[in-house]
């Protein structure tokens, strides 16, 4: 089992930045592709960014490309999402997720989920 705990959410003005962190425990995540998803009220959960187990491949949704950066530190068993130039439409609950096996990071199918952290962007 992998336990994932997100932190770093909060309230920020449009144009501002937030850094989300995901701390994993239970198992090393070095064998897992990792991703960040988000869900806004009334909308389906969507993939925001993902990173391969080695960190060599990344994926970003078109809506965040150029503004968000995903990274991982396998030694620290953690994943980070740096979010810049935030927009009101980025407001959502953000979830960290881990996917084992062979999985395309563009279509990550997580085995484990965190409980989420709220991001609010004021206009």
Res 107: pLDDT: 92
Distance CA(121)–CA(123), nearest Å, equals: 7
CB neighbours (10 Å) of residue 21? 18
Res 103: pLDDT: 83
Q: Which residues of the chain have pLDDT under 50?
A: none
Res 26: pLDDT: 96
Nearest to 79 by CA among 30, 11, 26, 14: 30
∠109-111-114 over CA atoms, to 5°?
105
Res 15: pLDDT: 98
Distance CA(6)–CA(79), nearest Å, equals: 9
Give the contacts of 18 (CB within 8 A, at least 6 positions apart): 8, 9, 10, 12, 83, 86, 119
């Amino acid at each position: 089992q992998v336990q994932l705990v997100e932190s770093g959410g909060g309230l920020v003005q449009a144009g501002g930045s937030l850094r989300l962190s995901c701390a994993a425990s239970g198992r090393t995540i070095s064998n897992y592709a990792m991703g960040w998803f988000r869900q806004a009220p009334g909308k389906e959960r969507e993939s925001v960014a993902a990173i391969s187990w080695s960190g060599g491949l990344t994926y970003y949704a078109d809506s965040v490309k150029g503004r968000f950066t995903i990274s991982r530190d396998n030694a620290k068993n953690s994943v980070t999402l740096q979010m810049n130039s935030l927009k009101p439409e980025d407001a959502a609950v953000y979830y960290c997720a881990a996917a084992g096996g062979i999985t395309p990071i563009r279509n990550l199918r997580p085995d484990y989920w965190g409980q989420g952290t709220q991001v609010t962007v004021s206009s």
